[in-house]
A = this chain, B = another copy of it.
Amino acid sequence: MRKPAARIRLADAAFVLFDERGYERTTVDDIAERAGVGRTTFFRHYRSKEAVIFPDHDRLLELIRDRLATSSDSTALVAVSDAVRLVLLHYIDEGDLARRRYALTSKVPALRDREIASVARYQRLFREFIADWMGDPTEAASLRAELMAAAVVAAHNHVLRRWLRGESADPVAEVDEAMREVLALFPAPQSPKGRDDEGTTLVAFRTSQDLDALLPSLRRLIEDSR
């Protein structure tokens, strides 16, 4: 092991200084000096001042991509859930670091925007994957892929932020539950081939009536819509 120490020292120095003086009032020179390296070295390790806070978004993107890539038609939704869980676990592994980053992104608009932009890249990945999986090139399917990806990412962020705020004891269970809820929102996987315009379509509703009391009108509806 040669000396990847500089990279770590820079990140440490950055977080400490951001805590002490705030983000804007800390210059790259300050960080480099505190880490005991030159300014040039900072930019060798991190593309920008913001990047020192989000070191491995690219790696996370690859993680998602890889997990989604290894899935068949029938396991697509499982892959989505897995990928989401993977991302969550990544943050949990970071532990306190993730929480310090959250404290920063909550206060500094520039960092918040950067975080949001990163999330949008995850969402894009999911959207493309889901659209591809649905195979259906129609406008309706395209919209549904968009909605699904948005919901998946929103659910993840919701649980993640709860954990970051210390409001969740078992975030993995929560995200699994949230994903079930999200996927339940959307019509089932729909048989890949032989789309059935025949058959039976039900709409969702909730009623206090008994099922048997509903059956006649149900049959009438189905009959009418054929």
Q: In the docked arrangement, what's the CA distance between A185 and B148, Å?
A: 11
The stretch of A12-20, A31-39, A203-211 in contact with B is A203-211
Q: What is the predominant secondary structure among interface residues of chain A facing chain B?
A: helix
Most buried by B among A142, A149, A208: A208
- Per-residue CB proximity of A176-214 to B under 8 Å, as 1/0? 001001101111101100001011111111111111001
The answer to whether A206 touches B188, judged by C-beta atoms less than 8 angstroms apart, is yes
A203 in contact with B204 given A155-B147, A222-B211 (CB within 8 Å):
yes
The answer to whether A158 touches B185, judged by C-beta atoms less than 8 angstroms apart, is no
The answer to whether B116 touches A185, judged by C-beta atoms less than 8 angstroms apart, is no
Asked if A8 is an interface residue, CB under 8 A from chain B, the answer is no
Asked if A69 is an interface residue, CB under 8 A from chain B, the answer is no
Q: How many identical subunits does the complex contain?
A: 2
Across the interface, A207 reaches (CB within 8 A) one of B155, B200, B218, namely B200
A191's closest neighbor in chain B, by CB? Answer: B208
Asked if A64 is an interface residue, CB under 8 A from chain B, the answer is no
Asked if A153 is an interface residue, CB under 8 A from chain B, the answer is yes
Asked if A173 is an interface residue, CB under 8 A from chain B, the answer is no
The answer to whether B222 touches A208, judged by C-beta atoms less than 8 angstroms apart, is no
How far does the Cβ of A180 sit from chain B's closest Cβ, in whole Å?
A: 11
The answer to whether B208 touches A196, judged by C-beta atoms less than 8 angstroms apart, is yes
**Beyond A147-B151, A187-B204, A200-B208, 12 additional pairs, beta carbon < 8 A:** A113-B113, A116-B117, A146-B154, A150-B151, A184-B204, A185-B185, A187-B206, A188-B207, A199-B208, A199-B210, A200-B207, A211-B218
